[in-house]
């Protein structure tokens, strides 16, 4: 599509203030134009499409009925927030989504007052909305907390922890359960919409209140029995008994695409004194765009695409993706080892566990958005003699850190952690970056921590982890495709705590951990051209360190530089601690550590992110030259400024 779509009504609605001036019979047109605008925008930028298409009408209805931003609207995860961004003053930048300097693909407090809470991890919305609601209540200020949470996110325990603590918020808390997989509700239609309007209406609630007052004059036991009877009768009709038990007034299910159903129910909930309230809305992911509706993944995450044909832009073919190397390798190993099993937390394709599942479905477990459970489940499997692999993104493993410490490391159980998306991840930005796993794992007793430099190393590390039964072991690898190296048919069982020399020099030693190895080799080429013979070591292990190799390189080189795709406290910190303990720096050796900066980096291309972080070959060269006070130092300062 060469021109932007025709959206005459949407053009008059830059913010919810203008939206609330529309007549109810105009909202259908607005929703249609909003959906068209979103499809066109994502076709040019790529991003999350299906989830946003599913909540177009819901977005319009919430902003129409509630007084945002005074009423705080929290989108769980946030990948469905593109329609929300379009009508909250950011339409002029919507085609910069997920690009350097552009809009975040998730909600972000720094972007808009309509984003009261940043989110990109699942199941946080109810807790945050409850916090907003209670703060306003305690300060006697108007304003609700409104959480929109998907049925997938409701699989996480945190959502129920929040609901269990929500009663004090009363009518200031509204939870909207966006059920887009029909996993809870029966098919909805006119009858369910009528029932939802009825049980949320002032007339019903007034009669309910009157009846409650009358029943209170009976015995306490009779009062409780009648209350439970009303609750369970309503629950059996509408399906909300579970939420009633958690203290919520349940309304639904209702059709989330029918504005004639949504608006009256939301208005009733807005005006009632009952609460907290949970509104059960059923939607269709990918709604309104044929190619998304017909796709198995509903166009959840898409590259740029042709709006007319639905054809997605194909990237250049190249080496296999790291997660697929892991999944295929593990599946082959499991052919000969019945103890190997794989666990993922709602990310089977993202971690490569889907490939393992095709070969060994009975040994593959998707636990849902429940990383804590997944890790302790793996610990139980390991304690019973199995060889479990917990395949979890680095950023999501953070959610289960106590389980890693308490249930795995302290008990020295041989759980294998396959840590995907290690390092910087590009368009998803800081919320999904794998910045901290080296630090938070290598500090733990009993833990072995590896990092793959390429896809062949990843295959070797997968095999090494499978064969390691002495305790917990982790291996990290980046997002995206490998380097193109050949993966040997016969895999190598790596010696624990031993690195390898990639090339040898005599002046400079670069100690690389993980996927910066290619940049380290490029830096070595440049240094060699400047007359500085350079050793490059692939350390392979952040813990245990290859102390013998480190000591030898420190005694025979003038400068030692560590390079890693992780935050402070990782390889560099461990190398410095060892060197200090052994007195290896007492003779004037120059040691420099290169790592991610002490900052959360916004979305951009991975190469630009690493340039900003100072971890590309030119920055490695410059670090060495500065350490040597070489006369060609600072040559790249201008480029970095």
Choose, from 285, 287, 479, 507, the residue flagged as catalytic.
285
Active site residue 285: yes
In the numeric block, the tokens 């609207």 are attached to 73
CA distance 516 to 537: 11
At residue 150's C-alpha, the angle toward residues 147 and 151, to 5°, is: 130
User: Which H, E and C letters describe 9-68, residue by residue?
Assistant: CHHHCCCHHHHCCCCHHHHHHHHHHHHHHHHHHHHHHCEECHHHHCCHHHHHHHHHHCCC
By the 8 A CB rule, do 6 and 28 touch?
no
573 annotated ligand binder: no
In 3-state terms, what secondary structure has residue 273? coil
Helix residue spans in 298-435 (DSSP H): 322-335, 348-351, 353-359, 371-383, 394-397, 401-403
Tokens representing 421?
């998306």
47 annotated ligand binder: no
In 3-state terms, what secondary structure has residue 71? coil
Active site residue 371: yes
Angle between helices 190-200 and 220-238 in degrees, nearest 10: 150
394 annotated ligand binder: no
At residue 118's C-alpha, the angle toward residues 68 and 417, to 5°, is: 150
Q: What residues form DSSP beta bridges with 107? A: 119
CA distance 484 to 456: 9
In the numeric block, the tokens 């402070």 are attached to 568
Choose, from 399, 421, 476, 540, the residue flagged as catalytic.
399
Q: Describe the chain by its helix, strand, coil percentages, rounded to 5.
A: 45, 15, 40
79 annotated ligand binder: yes
By the 8 A CB rule, do 455 and 320 touch?
yes
Choose, from 371, 455, 457, 612, the residue flagged as catalytic.
371
Active site residue 540: no
Q: Spell out the residues 6+ positions from residue 245 whose beta carbon is closer than 8 angstroms to its own.
A: none
120 annotated ligand binder: yes
Q: Would you put residue 251 in left (φ > 0), alpha (ψ -120 to 50) or beta? A: beta
- Known binding residues for Mg(2+) are 151, 180
Output the known binding site: 79, 120-122, 151-153, 180, 289, 371
Annotated binding site for thiamine diphosphate: 79, 120-122, 152-153, 180, 289, 371
Q: State the catalytic residues.
A: 285, 371, 399
């Amino acid at each position: 599509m060469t021109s932007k779509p025709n959206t005459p009504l949407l053009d008059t609605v830059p913010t919810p203030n203008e939206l609330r001036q529309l007549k109810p019979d105009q909202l259908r047109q607005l929703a249609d134009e909003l959906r068209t605008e979103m499809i066109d925008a994502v076709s040019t930028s790529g991003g999350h499409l299906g989830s946003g298409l599913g909540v177009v009408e819901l977005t319009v209805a919430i902003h129409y009925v509630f007084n945002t931003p005074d009423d705080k609207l929290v989108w769980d995860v946030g990948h469905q927030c593109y329609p929300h961004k379009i009508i909250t003053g950011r339409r002029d930048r919507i085609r910069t989504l997920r690009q350097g300097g552009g809009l975040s693909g998730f909600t972000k407090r720094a972007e808009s007052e309509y984003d009261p809470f940043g989110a990109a991890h699942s199941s946080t919305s109810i807790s945050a909305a409850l916090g907003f609601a209670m703060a306003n209540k305690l300060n006697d200020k108007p304003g609700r907390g409104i959480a929109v949470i998907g049925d997938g996110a409701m699989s996480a325990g945190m959502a129920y922890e929040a609901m269990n603590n929500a009663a004090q918020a009363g009518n200031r808390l509204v939870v909207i359960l966006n059920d887009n997989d029909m996993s809870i509700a029966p098919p909805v239609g006119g009858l369910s919409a009528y029932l939802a309007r009825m049980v949320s209406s002032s007339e019903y609630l007034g009669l309910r209140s009157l009846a409650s007052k009358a029943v209170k004059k009976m015995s306490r036991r009779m009062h409780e029995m009648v209350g439970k009877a009303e609750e369970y009768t309503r629950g059996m009709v509408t399906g909300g008994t579970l939420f009633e038990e958690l203290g919520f007034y349940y309304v639904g299910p209702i059709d989330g695409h029918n504005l004639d159903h949504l608006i009256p129910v939301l208005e009733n909930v807005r005006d009632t004194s009952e609460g907290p309230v949970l509104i059960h809305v059923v939607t269709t992911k990918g709604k309104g765009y044929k190619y998304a509706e017909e796709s198995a993944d509903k166009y959840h995450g898409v590259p740029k695409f042709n709006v007319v044909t639905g054809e997605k832009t194909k990237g250049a073919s190249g080496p296999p993706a790291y997660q697929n190397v892991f999944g295929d390798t593990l599946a082959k190993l499991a052919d000969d080892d019945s103890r190997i099993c794989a666990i993922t937390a709602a990310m089977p394709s993202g971690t490569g566990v889907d490939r393992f599942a095709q070969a060994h479905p009975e040994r593959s477990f998707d636990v849902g958005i429940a990383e804590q459970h997944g890790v302790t489940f793996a610990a139980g499997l390991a304690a019973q003699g199995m060889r479990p692999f917990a395949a979890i993104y680095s950023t999501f493993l953070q959610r289960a850190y106590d389980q890693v410490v308490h249930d795995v490391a302290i008990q020295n159980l041989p759980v294998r952690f396959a840590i995907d998306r290690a390092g910087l991840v590009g368009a998803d930005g800081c919320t999904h970056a794998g910045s901290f796993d080296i630090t938070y794992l290598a500090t733990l007793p009993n833990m072995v921590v590896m990092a793959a430099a390429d896809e062949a190393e990843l295959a070797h590390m997968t095999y090494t982890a499978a064969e390691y039964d002495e305790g917990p072991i982790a291996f990290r690898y980046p997002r995206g495709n490998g380097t193109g190296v050949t993966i040997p048919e016969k895999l190598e069982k790596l010696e624990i705590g031993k690195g390898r020399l990639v090339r040898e020099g005599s002046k400079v030693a670069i100690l690389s951990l993980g996927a910066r190895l290619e940049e380290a080799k490029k830096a070595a080429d440049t240094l060699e051209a400047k007359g500085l013979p350079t050793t490059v070591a692939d350390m392979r292990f952040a813990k245990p360190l290859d102390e013998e190799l480190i000591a030898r390189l420190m005694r025979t080189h003038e400068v030692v530089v560590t390079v890693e795709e992780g935050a402070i406290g990782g390889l560099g910190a461990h190398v410095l601690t060892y060197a200090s303990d052994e007195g290896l720096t007492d003779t004037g050796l120059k040691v420099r550590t290169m790592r991610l900066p002490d900052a959360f980096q916004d979305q951009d291309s991975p190469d630009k992110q690493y340039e900003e972080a100072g971890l590309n070959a030119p920055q490695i060269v410059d670090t060495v030259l500065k350490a040597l006070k070489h006369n060609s130092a600072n040559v790249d300062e201008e480029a970095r400024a």
